[in-house]
Amino acid sequence: QVQLVESGGGLVQAGGSLRLSCAASERTQNAMAWFRQAPGKERNFVAVISWSGLRIYYADSVKGRFTISRDNARNTVWLQMNALKPEDTAVYYCAADSGLYTSADKYDIWGQGTQVTVSS
């Protein structure tokens, strides 16, 4: 089974930017998604991209600020996060599935997560 490893998290001031990466252990034709989970809260959808890159969906809370992209030759998906807000603070997880879903319970393959902290 493919394994996912996230990186790129950190501490940033409000208004700043971060770029998260998710590297897959092998070539995959899965859709790839980003979710996030704040302490004591559910794991929420952030963005998803199809294998072709032609279908992309974002949560309303990140539209216009975050951009998901992928390079299948490098087995990597990125999440560019701009204009970050304190409410974006969470652990960010990468997920993969054959379908293009926005619900966390549809995904069976997950990374270990990377912490993003946005200070005010």
Report which of 113, 109, 85 is spatially closest to residue 25, judged by C-alpha positions. 109
pLDDT in the model for residue 1: 86
Residue with tokens 């599935």: 97
| Six-digit token string for 70 | 């992928």
pLDDT tens digit sequence for 27-85: 888 999 999 999 999 999 999 999 999 999 999 999 999 999 999 999 999 999 999 99
pLDDT in the model for residue 51: 95
Q: Rounded to an integer, what distance in angstroms lies between the CA atom of residue 20 and that of residue 4?
A: 13
pLDDT in the model for residue 35: 98
Contact 77, 49 (CB under 8 A): yes
Q: Rounded to an integer, what distance in angstroms lies between the CA atom of residue 4 and that of residue 77?
A: 10
pLDDT in the model for residue 44: 98
Which backbone phi and psi does 49 adopt, to 5 degrees?
-135, 135
Tell me the β-bridge partners of 21: 7, 78
